[in-house]
Structure 1
């Protein structure tokens, strides 16, 4: 419960800082860079060496990869058909295709399924959502922004993206059966724990919900896809098509129903992909998701 309270407090703090004009204009950019260059690598280096690699990872891993692929296909085709600007398409692919599987997901899953459910959630987040945003996320952000770096340039951006570098190091450590010394691990854990407050303050500083905003239609479609269509697809695939049962499948569906990922919104903002829309996806999506999550929890316990 304290994690959920922290989410709303940090969002409100960011809004307050902007309204009171305490910080300089563009200060959110500095916070975004802090998250990308320090917080996320710390998170990866703490968790990745500890994950047990086995065939049991396949379905949890699929949540992020399938969801993002579905989002990319859906919004790319729809945007092309309706003639949307590329930046709108890129923003929606990122923010509707990646869920907040950690900072909203972890406390919710632990409350509903206990420590065992949290173990599955970590698999969904770290080698799943975290890797997708560090690879395909960068690819989409660069492709739909004004940048035209070419194939080699895109690969260089992915390879040099700090969270991806940390992921590669953590994966190599995992395969080698090596972890950091007990004195160092709390350092990475504390660095990783700064993601939620810093990122949400940055989102709050950018959040401007205007009644006459031209983004409301895109926002409604993006949130409908993220909070309803994506978990529906995973429910039909995992529960009905594959005949999956048990807590792991239930956690996968609940994580698919989480609000948009904070890091995805930061990535969209960093690449100039409609920062205001990205901020609204987070600011409106997080509180709204608690209603839709209750619905999906009823669904998995009923069918």
Structure 2
């Protein structure tokens, strides 16, 4: 992995987050405007990354094997990540629902909102496509295991599972189907998806910057043990462990590179929605998400560099 490209990408991400922060400090940012950004990113930009990756990747047997492997790794790593988070919470004497929350916040990363645009920037169209497949595996875990953990009656609802069928997943299904039948879209469509794909990373970083001033203004009391354990597990212990495992696995280097980035991502933003719906605790998820996102600008380059240096 090219460290200069990684550091450059994170430097740009930091600057764009600061721009979002400055905008939010100078202008009133409404809930509707933030929701509009989310809609553009999730429903337009990220699907465009996926389609652009498919249109610019030779969809042969090797590529399909990489996609299948990364999907399996995603389900395995995200499930194990939750188990490791839960185990660490039990060791530090967190009980019941708090242990489950730490498990979820520690185990699942922002592989869609940040991970897909970042992998596309670092590894090109194929990287964006593989990152989207990894994110699809995370969605499966999020809307099955996570919901079971958060619900007090611990019963799984297939109605909740329907949330997996979102625009990025639809883009994967449509794009792969088009590639399999050998259809070549017009040049206009290729240029359009390529242009729209470039929106994802900047808009995602601006959105994160918009959240920071309001979060700082509220000055909520911070449960230090809860926050510290969640951040240490998510940003250091779990990614280092998984990256070391990846080094000894006989899989394609492209898969290793993408998974290394994805397991290092900060806490997933969907946690806010799931915690609000099933645990009546949106504030905890928001707090951990913002802290982990800001810290990840430092931890991800350090972890990837340390891994390439010593392993």
What is the aligned residue count?
285
Label 1:101 to 1:18 Cα distance change in 2 as closer, same or farther (>3 A).
closer
Give the aligned CA root-mean-square deviation in angstroms. 3.7
1:131 paired residue number: 136
The more displaced of 199-208 and 70-79 is: 70-79
1:8 paired residue number: 14
Label 1:209 to 1:140 Cα distance change in 2 as closer, same or farther (>3 A).
farther
Which of these residues, 290, 293, 296, is aligned with residue 307 of structure 2?
296
Per the TM alignment, residue 298 of structure 1 is displaced from its structure 2 partner at its CA by 0.5
Q: Aligned partners of 1:249 and 1:9: how far apart in 2? A: 28
Per the TM alignment, residue 193 of structure 1 is displaced from its structure 2 partner at its CA by 1.7
2:85 is aligned with 1:75: yes
Q: Aligned partners of 1:104 and 1:97: how far apart in 2? A: 9
Q: Aligned partners of 1:144 and 1:41: how far apart in 2? A: 29
Per the TM alignment, residue 196 of structure 1 is displaced from its structure 2 partner at its CA by 0.9
Equivalent residues of 2:53, 2:126 under 8 A apart: no
Q: CA deviation digits over 1:1-42, x for unaligned, max 9?
A: 564343112211222222224322563233223212222222
SS class of match (2:109): helix
Which of these residues, 39, 43, 51, is aligned with residue 37 of structure 1?
43
Q: Give unpaired runs (5+ residues) of structure 1.
A: 111-117
2:237 is aligned with 1:229: yes
1:95 paired residue number: 109
The more displaced of 143-152 and 89-98 is: 143-152
SS class of match (2:302): helix
Q: Aligned partners of 1:220 and 1:38: how far apart in 2? A: 35
2:303 is aligned with 1:285: no
1:174 paired residue number: 179
Q: Aligned partners of 2:262 and 2:235: how far apart in 1? A: 8
2:274 is aligned with 1:268: no
Equivalent residues of 2:105, 2:288 under 8 A apart: yes
TM-score (norm 1): 0.75
Per the TM alignment, residue 106 of structure 1 is displaced from its structure 2 partner at its CA by 4.8
Q: CA deviation digits over 1:251-297, x for unaligned, max 9?
A: 36743564337xx32x2234445122112211111223222222112
1:206 paired residue number: 211
Label 1:4 to 1:254 Cα distance change in 2 as closer, same or farther (>3 A).
same
Which of these residues, 48, 54, 57, is aligned with residue 61 of structure 2?
54
Label 1:284 to 1:74 Cα distance change in 2 as closer, same or farther (>3 A).
same
Label 1:12 to 1:254 Cα distance change in 2 as closer, same or farther (>3 A).
same
1:113 paired residue number: none
Q: Aligned partners of 2:58 and 2:223: how far apart in 1? A: 40
SS class of match (1:214): coil
TM-score (norm 2): 0.73
Equivalent residues of 2:54, 2:176 under 8 A apart: yes
Equivalent residues of 1:67, 1:98 under 8 A apart: no
Q: Aligned partners of 1:20 and 1:235: how far apart in 2? A: 41
2:162 paired residue number: 156
Q: CA deviation digits over 1:198-226, x for unaligned, max 9?
A: 11111122234699852554444344334
Label 1:175 to 1:250 Cα distance change in 2 as closer, same or farther (>3 A).
closer
Q: CA deviation digits over 1:43-79, x for unaligned, max 9?
A: 2222135353435516555553332122122224545
2:261 is aligned with 1:255: yes
2:25 is aligned with 1:19: yes
